[in-house]
Structure 1
Amino acid sequence: MKILVIEQDLRVSGTSQGIISRSFLYRLRNAHPKAVINVVYLKSHPSDDQLHLLPVDHIESHILNLKVPFFTKLINRFYWRLFHVSLVVEHINKVYGACIAKIEYQSYDHIFVRSAGLAHETILGCKDLPILKKAIVNFHDPYPIFWYAGTTKALTNLELFQMKSMQKVVSQAKTCMSSANAMAKDMQFLYGSRKKFYSLPHQYCESVFDLSDTGKALKKGKAITIAYHGAIQFGRTIENLLDAYETLVHSNPLYSEKTEFILRLKGIDLKKLAERYTNTPNIIILDTLNFSNSCYEQTHVADINIILENGPLYCNILVGKAPFLASSNKPVLCISPPVSELRTIIKDEKYIAAMEDKLEIQNKLEQLILSRVNNVEPVYPFGDYFNEVNFKWRLNEILEDK
């Protein structure tokens, strides 16, 4: 069997997509150890991505020149307003498409097309290319951004025309998939697909990373450490969680003496947030770290990890950190909207709290702290959802689709 994977992000830090994509390649190799697995890696700038750690047969990297010509940008000032098509976006997608068009794909049994970010350039770059007839197109996030749960972006004519391009890709592809069951159903309906959208959950595999850099990780300061590392975006809110923890700390000396809450955040004004909780020194707000140091803090320093899902009403994506935190076998508290992907995966209610309910967050956080004080045994909030058996079963269902 020969498998081709077109990737847009294999970075070792700075993005959850790189972590997810690297882990996907590891799981793909484990599921089909005798297969020939080749990767075409399309990126926009040079980076040291430790590609030698990936268990594939060959990786072909291309650094694409995405600089848009001045004349194109000039014309686009008027063009997109008249015709609702961005010449800048079209130019970038064509750069990806020109590179993909050169791939000799005919000998491959299966082809995965995976993208990164919100623009889905590798996927849209495949539009009208014959490679799509053999391609399994992976949606890591909804497209366009208007359909991303938690966004405040308005729906524009520009996005409606972009949807037409994506609908053409969907109709031309062999099949499509996403990382979440809810998103697969939503995207299948959104694009009117007559073919099934499959679901293949994100994975995490430690062996495709060099995790030796731990020098910047914070040392444990209290008996129980709670941690959140990540972005505040798309309806994710941190204030209700911090308010609930602050109330807990000030209600009982046990929590002020024995617990700390470390936050590594991006996408929010850290100084302003720190000022809001200045009377609670147990709340430690810091800048983000590279993945190796962040991984160490969450797996070796933290006792309880936090997940923030998109909100406030609905989250149809699977957050990238879920399989990573599942691998640590530690308690998590997932702050979630009423309907979400993780609510269908985490069966034990003690690991999930409503993002708008401060009292529920406080009570469940307290329960997790108390349960962890005298018990460091492994726990499995996600069950076996992210194990290799489930991945292989779902993967083979996609590969066998005719």
Structure 2
Amino acid sequence: MTAASTRQAAAERIVAIPPHFPARRSWWLLFGLALSLLLLFLVSVAVLFARGPGVWGNNVPVGWGFPIINYIWWLGIGHAGTLISAMLLLLGQTWRNSLNRFAEAMTLFAVMCAGLYPILHLGRPWRFYWMAPYINTMNVWPQFKSPLTWDFFAVLTYLIVSTLFWYIGILPDLAAARDRATRRRWQVFFGLAALGWRGQASHWARWNQAYRLTAAIAVPLVVSVHSEISLLLAAGPVPGWNSTVFPPYFVLGAAFSGFAVVSMLTVWLRWMLGLHALVTPRHLDMLGVLLLVTGLMTGYGYVAEAFDAAWAGGKEVETLVDRFVGPYAWSYWGALLFNFVPLQLLWWRRIRTAPAALFLVGLSATIGMWMERYMLLVSSLYRDWLESSVQLYAPTFWDWSLFAGTIGLFLTCFLLFVRFLPVISAFEVEEQLAEGAHG
């Protein structure tokens, strides 16, 4: 087989996945599970609207419970897609071409799940637009000095830029799927989505400018969004939060959890769709290296946080000791166990390139990072400044059901993406093969 025919076969293999889906039974089983969880989400939201946020376990002083824990967790997961796609594009790393498309989709759906939590947390979610600075008759404006207002702008900007970056990148593949489709409904669907793309030189020139410009905008957003989220905590006089290490600590932790989820999705899609020729052991190896590096950096954040607390003394030391042996010590030691013990297996390349091992390490890190968020929020809030105000926090059934429901929302959106759109960038893989053929 010649190099040209190899490139054409690879491109056709990718764009043929939606109309000739190879794993219909597995997809329907997973989609049924996702729809069940999505139904649980809808029921949880309906109960919330009918009875109010009192159905959650939030109390005084733990006013920030599951909604903010899961908000930070979901937003962190979305960071890896931008890092894999935008940053590696600007650095000229072509191995990203087999991963960037579904990593970008993961970012969109994770940010969408994260954005729902602050809206639902408002108590009157139908008034969410009050957070935006718009001209109104009451002349009431948001407090622009508050990190809460920065959060609104940062997340909204990140969602818009990530959506544009994903859609610009998929345009050539939508046109390729349109041209190769044999059924009328697929031709119409991909034709409308391709926006009249014909592959002309002027199209490619404008596309390349827009794609790289959007990537250049997206990369600093990764840092700014989670740095700003950390300021929601670090800007307040709460023991365990008031630390300058939080911005880099949160950014690295977000990248760590995001790479963990990307690793799991890569292994799953590689197995279900038979993408072994496109997602090779080298891709698994690189994901394992990224997961190991960001995990070790996150571990350094743990050490720096403990050092800051010991150096500050007073209430900071009390909070640190409470995390070690207090009622929520399970979350601290659980985060250490799930985040860093299985991670050490990734020092060996044989483990990094083993799909099952990489999937399990990624799953462990995902659980560990959720426990870290729980530990950071609850263990610092439940011990108020007055002993009479100390109150333990316990999530209710509706906390857990809403969390499980957002997982169902994420899986539903992702499975629909896998079913109806190219999961790998066909034109970039073809270009990479062409460059390899010419040395």
| Same fold, TM-score > 0.5, yes or no | no
Structure with greater proportional strand content: 1
**TM-score between both structures, scaled by the size of structure 1:** 0.25
Structure with greater proportional helix content: 2
Ranked by relative contact order (alpha carbons within 8 Å, sequence separation 6 or more), the top structure is 2
**TM-score between both structures, scaled by the size of structure 2:** 0.24
